[in-house]
Amino acid sequence: MKQLSYSQMSVYLRCPLQYKLSYVDRLKAPPKHYFSFGSSIHSALEFLYKVKTPKPPSLDEFLKFYETNWEKEGYASPGQEKEYFEFGEEMLTGYYNIHTKDFKLPLSVEYNFNFEINKDVRLRGFIDRIDKLASGGVEVVDYKTEAEPFTTARLESDKQLTLYQIAIEKTLKLPVEKLTLYHMKSLTPFSAGPRTPSQEKEVLDLVVEVAGDINAGKFEPTLNNFCPCDFDRHCHYFRHKYMKEEGTEEGEGKGQPAGQEDMVSLVDDYSRLKEENKKGTTEIESLRGKIIGYMERNNLSRLFGQNYEVTLVQGEKQEWDEEDVKKTLLPAGLLDRVTGIDQSLVAGLLESDDTPPEIRQKLKSLRKLSKGSYQVRYKKIK
Ligand code: SF4
């Protein structure tokens, strides 16, 4: 039986290889200051609400707890750490002054759930806070320490809140009436009404699909806005950068024609000629052949020169069934971007940063692929 949490699922949707390296191979990522900061704020809020009687701890006790349990890992310098600590202190003081005036005991704090979706998949996680409402229903509150406030679209499509609603309905058997993302920076709650049964089904289907893909060992790297990740040396899009820096060209002595130095200048030469539009010349075709050969032998998909990088894209014929695509894009409001189901526009959605990960995943699962020829795409390194 596969057990998944929301954060594992979102990593998989962003990049299946990153999921594997992180959760299957258990490679350890260096600590990040934003995780430490978020965790320090969450712990302090848990302390504030985890009381047995309606009287909250005093402001002094609250801030003392914050200071004693401050997580220091991942900050770039003592100065940066101090700045964040003081920012958190100010934020928590503001929070305390607003929310302890009418302090009520929550129904649950850091609610730990784990339930079966079907015989193969379980979902687990923690909900920051569940409040009982006068009507008898409950409100889910999830604290967020990210900088930007939330748009209505984000609030209404947030899958984490949908899964929390399902978890409460399944495990506590209580009706969820309000879903809130609490934006700590501005001390503002952003709330939406409960999800509909069809929204719940859509997210549960996605969890089941992701769990199925993980069980089937589908761990292809997927380039995304957050690349390179902490594990990029294990990814065939970024491994060459390390080989280049360390001078450890793999496959040396296996008879490949170009050495490390050669590949770096070869990449630059190829890209420069492409930029000058020398398409089809003997020189460019010869460089292209060497680049492809090297990448194939070393199982790489990207090479780095001094000034350019080239990415190997295996030309694929991608096709979708029109009806499948309509059913997927219409509810997400994306159908107008592929009028008449132009196959190349659908393929463009797969590569577009603003296509939601779950839609990308769905389009990937629906497409029919057949192998084509290689393309070597170049890009200037910034
Ligand atoms: S670098 Fe990017 S594509 Fe490679 S594993 Fe990390 S997230 Fe995935």
Q: Give me the pLDDT at residue 280, please.
A: 67
Q: Give me the pLDDT at residue 137, please.
A: 95
Q: Please report the atom of ligand 1 found closest to the CA of residue 224.
A: 2
Distances 382 to 262, 304, 306, 309 between C-alpha atoms, Å:
21, 12, 10, 10
Q: Give me the pLDDT at residue 158, please.
A: 94
Residue to mutate, 231, 240, 299, ligand 1, most ligand atoms under 8 Å from C-beta: 231
Q: Give me the pLDDT at residue 227, please.
A: 94
Q: Give me the pLDDT at residue 339, please.
A: 61
Q: Give me the pLDDT at residue 99, please.
A: 95
**What are the tens digits of pLDDT across the range 155-209?**
999 999 999 999 999 999 999 999 999 999 999 999 999 999 999 999 999 999 9
Q: Whose CA is nearest to atom 5 of ligand 1?
A: 18
Structure tokens at 286: 């010869």
Pocket of ligand 1 (CB under 6 A): 15, 17-18, 221-224, 227-229, 231-232, 235, 237-238
Distances 267 to 192, 304, 328 between C-alpha atoms, Å:
51, 7, 40
Residue to mutate, 12, 14, 18, ligand 1, most ligand atoms under 8 Å from C-beta: 18
Distance in Å, CA 252 to ligand 1 centroid: 25
Q: What pTM was estimated for this model as a whole?
A: 0.79
Distance in Å, CA 89 to ligand 1 centroid: 35
Q: Give me the pLDDT at residue 5, please.
A: 96
CA-angle at 165, arms to 162 and 168, nearest 5°: 150
Beta sheet of 308-319, edge-to-edge order:
302-304, 308-319, 368-380
Question: Which positions of the chain have pLDDT values less than 50?
Answer: 250-257
Q: In the chain, what are the domains?
A: 15-99 (no CATH), 108-215 (3.90.320.10), 232-380 (no CATH)
Q: Give me the pLDDT at residue 260, please.
A: 58
Q: Please report the atom of ligand 1 found closest to the CA of residue 230.
A: 6
Query: Number of H helices and number of E strands within the chain?
Result: 14, 9
Q: Give me the pLDDT at residue 256, please.
A: 45
